[in-house]
Amino acid sequence: MDDIVLIREALQAREAAYAPYSKFKVGAALLGKSGTIYHGCNIENAAYGPSNCAERTAFFKAVSEGEREFCAIAIIGGYDGQIDGYAFPCGVCRQVMMEFCHPAEFMIITAESEQDYKKYTLEQLLPEGFGPFNL
């Protein structure tokens, strides 16, 4: 799958972001090994703590649908009308990725646009991570 396709899907997923408090809207598109793309957006809450990131929304949707193996995720975030930086997954989301993804193989794409993006392995963003293989 082309990176650009996944980025386009993440941009589309961002449309559903519910971010009335931070106003920072994030979309994610997660590619499962089955070939299915799962979409996620951030969903905030008046009590702040129960808010969920776009990446985890996508992962939890996928796992709840029975998919447990993944190839890549594209992430795009920013304030309304101006995506002028790269949104990197928070530490909690990186740990959720660690549960279901091979650290040296799973690719994380953070995009400013379809043309401008950076690509990392999970291992690069979560070195020496703790995962299922440690137990």
Whose Cβ is closer to ligand THU: residue 10's or residue 37's? Answer: 10
What's the closest the beta carbon of residue 76 comes to ligand THU, in angstroms?
Answer: 9
Q: In this structure, which amino acid lies at residue 94?
A: R
Count CB-CB contacts under 10 A for residue 1: 13
Q: Which residues bind ligand THU (CB under 6 A)?
A: 19, 22, 24, 26, 42, 44, 51, 53-55, 75, 77, 87-90
Measured from the CB atom, the residue of 20 and 66 that comes closer to ligand THU is 20
Question: Closest distance between ligand THU and the C-beta of residue 33, in Å?
Answer: 22
The one catalytic residue among 9, 55, 69, 105: 55
Between 26 and 96, whose beta carbon lies closer to ligand THU? 26
User: Which positions ≥6 away from 128 have C-beta within 8 Å?
Assistant: none
| 15 catalytic per annotation | no
Answer for the pair 52, 36: CB distance below 8 angstroms, yes or no. no
For 78-118, the DSSP string reads EETTB--SPPPPPHHHHHHHHHHS-TTT-EEEEESSSSSEE
Active site residues: 55
